[in-house]
Amino acid sequence: MDSQNILVTGGAGYLGSILVPTLLAEGHKVTVLDNFMFGQNSLGHVCVDENLEIVRGDARNEQTMRGLVKDADTVIPLAALVGAPLCARDEAGAISTNRDAIVMLGKILSREQRLLVPITNSGYGVGSNSEYCTEESPLRPISLYGRTKVEAEAAALERENSISFRLATVFGMAPRMRIDLLVNDFVYRAVMDRTITLFEGHFRRNFIHIRDVTRAFLHGLENFERLAGEPYNVGLSDANLSKVQLCERIKAHVPELVILSAPIGEDPDKRDYIVSNDKIEATGFMPQYSLDKGIVELKKGFVMLRNAVYGNV
């Protein structure tokens, strides 16, 4: 693949801290825009790379963005308020960052410039018991986070040169860590507390390793003409699991784990669905990192992390 100039907003965040070093290793020139709201220094190890530029700023600022996109071949807008709890705390920030910034990008990008957008498969909301959600399934988001990302996807796909990746719940270690994501959270509790208390443990999710998210973006860059104009679910096809099943997988690696089901109480995130990833797999993309591999990785990582600053909640 030829070298490109790639702009990554939110590039110092959880996904970006894996994606940006990989793009640099592939020979691309990368400009990162981030507001560093979590005080992270997650790209410190690649600052030596002359192909990296870092800008402190806001992806919602049109003047800032016009100055940055003019030299970009491809834009990957990772900047977002991610997760239902964080979005519920800052509704205005969620709408302006998750949706409005993408709408603005669609207006200021030229027809030739490429846009690869990470969305969330939480837009499926609550599925049926046995029916897989495909890219043709109705989108019924039940959180502000889900709604803003669904609206962002619609804005992105209105232009011809865009791809949308509907990401499953991401897991795995990263330089800008997030412990609040479901798999990461459960493994952390298993390692630290040896106990997980479940609310509504029958709720099902799909999962994907953070390094496979990066691989999906690389797949989009390498096969852009073939994939453009479409949304793609990105998840592990063998990991459509309920929270109870996820805990059982973790217990296989942490045998002393005690799993408790709370008789009262609710999960604030009501998503419940199973997802088909056949569409992206048909284009030649297959994940390489299994759920079990991620659990082992997280167990190692949590030897290092002993506090709760690594989250969005």
pLDDT digits (tens, 9 = 90+) for 102-127: 999 999 999 999 999 999 998 998 87
- pLDDT value for 199: 86
- Of 64-78, 128-142, 186-200, 217-231, the one with minimum mean pLDDT is 128-142
Does residue 312 surpass a pLDDT of 70?
no
pLDDT digits (tens, 9 = 90+) for 234-245: 999 999 999 999
Does residue 254 surpass a pLDDT of 90?
yes
Mean pLDDT of 256-283: 87
- pLDDT value for 263: 78
- pLDDT value for 8: 98
Does residue 16 surpass a pLDDT of 80?
yes
Residue type, 308: A
pLDDT digits (tens, 9 = 90+) for 138-152: 999 989 999 999 999
Mean pLDDT over each residue of the chain, to the nearest integer: 94
CA distance 305 to 118: 27
Domain extent listing, the chain:
5-171+206-234
CA distance 224 to 237: 23
Inter-CA distances, 76 with 8, 100, 154, 167, 251, Å = 5, 15, 16, 14, 36
Residue 205: strand pairing partners: 241
**Are 20 and 42 spatial neighbours (Cβ–Cβ below 8 Å)?**
no
pTM: 0.95
- Please report where in the chains the tokens 């209105």 appear, as a residue: 158
CA distance 231 to 118: 10
pLDDT digits (tens, 9 = 90+) for 140-192: 998 999 999 999 999 999 998 999 999 999 999 999 999 999 999 999 999 99
Does residue 309 surpass a pLDDT of 90?
no
- pLDDT value for 112: 96
Does residue 15 surpass a pLDDT of 60?
yes
Does residue 310 surpass a pLDDT of 80?
no
CATH class belonging to 5-171+206-234: alpha beta
- Of 46-60, 113-127, 235-249, 283-297, the one with minimum mean pLDDT is 113-127
